[in-house]
Amino acid sequence: MYQADITEQCKFSKAKTSLLLSALEKNGRVRRVKKGRDKIVNIIHQ
């Protein structure tokens, strides 16, 4: 899912979405991949 779609659906600011996803990425829960100017967020299944 695109990070912008998460921002829109959760009604968070771009900054808050980025901070939350950074924390999830640091904990190994998600992975973000840059695609052009967008980021695609993938859930990591454990």
41 forms bridges with which residues in the sheet?
A: 32
Three-state DSSP class for 31? strand
In this predicted structure, what is the pLDDT of residue 30? 98
For 3-42, how does the pLDDT look when each residue is reduced to its tens digit (9 = 90+)?
A: 999 999 999 999 999 999 999 999 999 999 999 999 999 9
If one compares 17 and 46, the residue with the highest pLDDT of the two is 17
Listed residue (15, 16, 17) closest to 2, CA to CA: 17
For the chain, report the end-to-end CA distance as a whole number of angstroms.
Answer: 19
Buried b (16+ CB within 10 A) or exposed e, 14-34: eeebbeebeebeeeeebeeee
In this predicted structure, what is the pLDDT of residue 31? 98
pLDDT for 46 beyond 90? no
Number of helices and strands in the chain (H, E): 2, 2
In this predicted structure, what is the pLDDT of residue 12? 97
